[in-house]
Each structure stands twice: as structure tokens, then as C-alpha cells.
Structure 1
Amino acid sequence: MATGDEERRSTGRVGAPVPPRALAKVPFVELADGRLQGVVSSGSDIERVYVSSIAAGTHAYYCSTNNNRPCGGLNTWAMCKHLQALVDAAVLQYGADRVARYLRADVGDGAASATGLIAGLSGQQEKQPAATVFSGFLRHLGYLERPDIAGPVPELDWFPAERAVL
């Protein structure tokens, strides 16, 4: 339980470190815009990626290439392997409980796994544009290509850093 002093601090609680995940398979995953969304690499073509998403609340899902061609494995009764890989990566990145809360999924007791989370999703296929998610992925890739600099980078200012306490 938080004391009065803890509630007045301007810092947040730091979570446990994220375990490493296979970036080659799912290089980008985020909980944003009311969806679990990300970019998943193709298993058959090294130059193809899929943009996959699952909406919070409705659990509507969709998967397409970055140029909006629907995934061939997507159907109305089950999620494709790209969506399953996205859920797996999200569970590694954020934890099953946090992903389930974000998606408002009823996973029952002790479903702290990607399989339990997928079983708790009851949505249907609903077309979603891929451009927003894919452009976010490309923006994040751009940060990896920045040259090393010692000064501040304004667009990365939201990352936690050591700062003097005033």
C-alpha cells in the first residue's frame, strides 16, 4: 500500500527487466491505439513482413503485408501464425497479465501464457490499415541508425534517464 510520501513523488515504479525475445521473428510489438499491434517477419520470404493487430475489447484481428495484401493464413475461425507470434512476443515483452488486461480478455484463473491468452480472445476478422503500424516500425528502425552523439535527442526525451532531483 502506498504511503502519502510515495504518492507525491514524480517518479514511477520501475518494472522488472524484459527477457530477450527473437527480434528476427517479431521485430516490433506494442500496446498502442487500443490494439496489440506489431510487425511479424514472413517465414517464407525474407523481404516480406506482416502487420498484425488485435483490438482491445472486441478482439477483432487482422493480418496483412505492409502493402495491405491480406495474409493467406488468415481466416474467420482462427488466427494466423503471424498473430500467434505477435501474442507470443507481447507476452514476453509485457507479461501475459498486462496484455490480457490491455486487450480486456477473459482468460480465467492462471492463464499466464500466450496459449491461454489466445484461447480467451473471441473476436472476428476485421480489416485494419497497416500503414500506421508499419510507419511506426520504420520510425523505430530509424533510431537504430542514428549516429552516436553525446548531446540530448529531443524525440527520445521520453525515455527514462538519470536526472537530478530538484
Structure 2
Amino acid sequence: MTAPARPRKLAKVPFVELAGGRLQGVVSSGSDIGRVYVSSVAAGAYAFACSTNNNRPCGGARGSFCNHIRALINEAVLQYGAERVAGYLKVETADGEPSAQTIEACMSGTRPSQGDTKDAAPVFSRFLRHLAYLELEPSSAPLPEMQWFPPTRTVA
């Protein structure tokens, strides 16, 4: 696990990942505390998708990035750093160090298409799995689902 580039607040975007050839994550609704959106942007083609946790399409993602995708890009830059996000998404920015705004502008300039929301369920499922870890009591005992990690060697 890579340490975050900068600390971020988890209230707006509680889950962000670079996986499966996409920047994807879960973004809280600005109007309904019980609703979240699963948003993603594909690397290279920049096809985007945004839908609720109940698989209803986002009303703002009609032909361009919605505010949920913009928030996802901003938080990804905080989590992973702008260079890593730009590299993963295959965004070539102009001279200078990339930022969330330049990454978004470069992707928007290519006229990205609206993608399919079929991959939203696995992303949301991983998010829920991460939430389950927050409910565990602090312990140094190993977690059964993490047993696939090789044992560490102790130096005598």
C-alpha cells in the first residue's frame, strides 16, 4: 500500500482506487446523506460512468463529467499524487507538474464518451468490504482473509 500523497477528508469521497484500467470510487451525494454514487473514468479513452448505489444513472453525467467525477479526480490526486493519476489514466498534460484541474481539462478536451455502469457493483462491493474493517475491534491478531500474505521472517 502506498502512503497517501496528502491527507484527505473521507466524507465526500470515502473510497478511491486506481484499478481495472480505471480511476474509480464511491462519492457521497451532496443532497441525500443515504445516497452514494459509484463513479469511474477509463484510462486512455476517458469513458466515464456515474450511477447511484442502486444503479440509477447520475443526472449530471450527460455528455461531460459530473461533479461526482470531478470530486473523484480531486481526491485521487490527494491520495496518489497528480503524476501517478495522470500516468495511470494516460493523460498527457502540458509543461509543468499536473494537477487535478489540468488532468480533468485534458480528459474533457478529448470529448470522453459515457461508459457502461456494469462495473459499479464490484467497486461498491469492495467499498463495503473496506467499511467492514472499520467495525473490527483493534487487535494485533491476524485476519483470516489476509492469511494469503507470506509470513514475515524474524531476525534473531
Alignment length (residue pairs): 151
Contact 1:37 1:51 in 2 (8 A): yes
Superposed CA deviations along residues 56-77 of structure 1, whole A, max 9, x for unmatched, are 111100100011100011111x
Aligned-residue sequence identity (percent) comes to 60
TM-score by length of 2: 0.87
Higher mean C-alpha deviation, range 105-114 or range 133-142: 105-114
User: What's 2:126 paired with?
Assistant: 136
Which position in structure 2 is the counterpart of 1:23? 10
Name 2:32's counterpart in structure 1.
45
Structure with higher Rg: it is: 1
2:116 maps to 127
Take 1:35 and 1:96, find their aligned partners in 2: how far apart are those partners?
Answer: 15
Look up the equivalent residue of 1:164 and give its one-letter code: T
Alignment of 1:85-100 (within 5 A): 85-100=71-86
Say whether 1:54 aligns with 2:44.
no
- Is the aligned partner of 1:104 residue 2:93? no
Which structure carries more relative contact order (alpha carbon 8 Å, separation 6+)? Answer: 2
Question: Is the CA contact 2:24–2:41 (under 8 Å) kept in the aligned structure 1?
Answer: yes
Higher mean C-alpha displacement, 35-44 vs 119-128: 119-128
TM-score under structure 1 length normalisation: 0.82
Can you give the 5+ residue segments of structure 2 that lack an aligned partner in the other structure?
none
Deviating 4+ runs (over 6 angstroms): none
